[in-house]
Chain A
Amino acid sequence: MPALSIHHLPRRIRAGSSVRRLTYRGAGIATGGMLFVAALLALPGVIAPAFAAGSTGAPSALHVTVSAGNSGSLILSATDSDGAAPTQPVHFFVTTSLFGGAKLVPIGVAHSYGGFALSYKPTVTGRQTFTAEILDSSGAVLSSGTSSFLVTTRTAMFSPSETNAPKPLASFGRGMVGVLLAIVGLIWLTLIVTLVRVTRGTARLAT
């Protein structure tokens, strides 16, 4: 299940000028190419149940399992190395390189009442590394484990704000510009025509 369909792309692009429009068009093609590659990468995910999964836990006390859930979510769960359920809450993290180097972003805590499983909607596509940790009361890591997973579907954690009430005149701002410029043009035209008409007319009517 590819995350994006290519044919939807160009229509979404609102261009404000010819310069930008051209650039966007070029970009659309480039984007399309890249998305095609991305879609190819995602093919195994389509053929196999839902996601391409790969659990490569490094030697550690916790064994992390990542599997596909519903609606683009992942199910993260952790067991002891011998397969038994942990005895304490498990903290899950995803690794990000957003701030330089690998940083762990806390994404939630799994408790025994949830079967030590966490539902998580990934925000980034590509190979993601998930870490599970069990902490003691002082925050020191008692045991941990990691697993990576090729994410093909991401959920945006961002949508542009909607203002509480949209600006009242926003919907015809573009049309208004044309109307106003037309009025201004008409005024200039009228003045120039008047001037020319009077001066040339006066000269012509002199006899």
Chain B
Amino acid sequence: MEQLHSIENVPPLPKVRRAAIRPILKPGRAFWPVVALLTAIVAWGIMAWTVQVRQGLGSAGYNDHAFWAIYIADVITFIGVSYGGAVVSAILRLTGAHWRAPLTRIAEATAVVTVIIGASFIIPHLGRPERVLELIWRPNLSSPIFWDFVAVSTYAFASIVFFFLPLMPDLAVSNPAMEEAGLTRRARLFKLLSFRWNGNQRQHRRLNGAIGLVAIMIIPLAVSVHSVLSWAFSLTSRPWWHESIWAPYFVVAALYSGIALVILVVALFRKVYGLEPFISERHFVRLGFILVPFGAAYLYLTLADFLPGSYVGEHGIAAVFSAVITGRYALWFWIFVFGGCIIPIVIMALPWTRRLGFIVGAAALVDGSLWLKRIIMVVAPANYERVNGLFGAYHFTWISISVTLAGVAAIPLLLLLLFRVVPILPVTEMEEIAAIEAGIISAHAPVSGGVGKTIAPELVAPGVTAIDTTANLDMHTEGI
């Protein structure tokens, strides 16, 4: 089979290329049953939502003392986890961490999928979703909700661009395999979206520059999204919402839960698509190590949040904090503290728990606990009755649970479907990094998307057209 160079003179890695398109060619026996199951969960959630539309938001457990609850927490959670993709991909790319290479496609795809799911959770959150476009044609620019809308849509667009750009050359090199396999529609799509990529230096230089630019842009964009989301709360005078710490809170929580979700998604696809040769346990250890400082930072912010209000004891804030720390929400709050922060940190701290199973468990704990924390952050101040200081209550209903589970199921579902269309591994990026580590192209050449001067890879050893792929894979999975 003729091997196209993804980048001029960079030797192809046939194993990587095969693994990247395996889900497209031959998804496996369990694929369609799993897709059907997930689709059923999503469809059930949508059905529950139609019931909610008919009966009113009260059917999701809402009331005047719980006017915001599960859906806005879901919005924050899903848009929050999408930050993980941005970090793994953009930050590690900009810092030139080679080990990131096999993870970036999955991470970026997760970011795109979760931001879309998160944004669509605005729909069940609204009482009159059919009027949502009034945000565009009669906006009130002093409303934080309007800016939420602006920030989320901008970030979603940037995520899609950031997902698409590194994909272009991969589509080009995967196209022959599609034609060979007789997948003509995909071949046509790949051809269309790869824009006649042939890997020459000028194309590569231009693409690298663009990826670098968007990688830089997406970091402040993500910070702005999570800040603006938090300001929907802290721009009201409600106790505990009206806190300056909320914006950094949301940003750190997003990073923390986002990396945890990348761990979960990578573990899932590594398992089901047999990516073990490319993604080793050490990848998970590294991601776990990134998790630790964010977990510690979030715990620290929580302390910094609770201390001043608890110490001074103003009416409203004292009532809410008492309810959270020792009162009606205390059980959930302490589950978050231990499950969401302390246990994951301990798992990464102890050498004998620093293993794949434990790390995946820790990541699952983090995402679950942070959802719980967001529920508390939304519900406790909403429950607080500001005139007489009493608390209302919020109860989940089958509708709100079904809709939320539909969002959760939509993540693997959309990713499974997405990787039926696009290569799951970033072929070009992996080949380029392998070539750099093998000394075939100059180490000074920045990896794709690197900051500063973007130099096309220089040919170090002319004439080398194929390299020992296994050696290179070892190098970039075990290196650094």
Contact = CB atoms under 8 A, between A and B. Distances in A.
Q: Within 8 Å by CB, do A and B touch in the complex?
A: yes
B188 interface: no
Interface stretch (A47-55, A121-129, A146-154, A189-197): A189-197
A205 B206 contact: yes
Interface in B217-271: 217, 221
Interface string A170-195: 00010001001100100110110011
A190 B210 contact: no
Contacts of A191: 157-158, 161, 214, 217
A201 B201 CA distance: 12
A169 B213 CA distance: 32
B interface: dominant SS? helix
Contact of A190 (B142, B200, B206, B213): B213
Contacts of B147: 180
Contacts of B198: 206
Given A184-B150, A202-B206, A206-B203, A194 B196 contact: no
B165 interface: yes
A202 B161 contact: no
B213 to A, nearest CB: 6
A181 B147 CA distance: 10
B195 A199 contact: yes
Interface residues of B, number: 26
A98 interface: no
A103 interface: no
A198 B207 CA distance: 6
Interface string B178-222: 000000000000000011111010110011001001100100010
Contacts of B142: 173
A203 interface: yes
B93 to A, nearest CB: 16
B141 interface: yes
A194 B161 contact: yes
Nearest to B206: A201
Contacts of A188: 154, 157
A200 interface: yes
Contact of A198 (B157, B158, B165): B165
A interface: dominant SS? helix
B196 A206 contact: yes
Contacts of B165: 194-195, 198
A202 B150 CA distance: 30
B234 to A, nearest CB: 15
Contacts of B202: 205
B175 to A, nearest CB: 13
Contacts of A198: 165, 168, 195, 206-207, 210
Contacts of B214: 191, 194
B30 to A, nearest CB: 36
Contact of A195 (B161, B200, B203): B161
Given A197-B206, A202-B206, A184 B154 contact: yes
A203 B161 contact: no
A202 B203 contact: yes
Given A187-B221, A194-B161, A194-B214, A201 B154 contact: no
Contacts of B221: 187
Interface string B415-448: 0000000000000000000000000000000000
B195 A194 contact: no
A202 B194 CA distance: 8
Given A184-B150, A194-B161, 14 more contacts: A181-B141, A187-B217, A187-B221, A194-B210, A195-B161, A201-B203, A201-B206, A202-B168, A202-B197, A203-B195, A205-B203, A205-B206, A206-B195, A206-B203
16 contacts: A173-B142, A177-B141, A184-B154, A187-B217, A191-B214, A194-B214, A198-B207, A198-B210, A201-B203, A201-B206, A202-B168, A202-B195, A202-B203, A203-B195, A205-B200, A205-B206
Interface of A: 173, 177, 180-181, 184, 187-188, 190-191, 194-195, 197-203, 205-206
A-B interface, 3 closest residue pairs, ranked by CB to CB distance from nearest: A206-B196, A202-B195, A203-B195
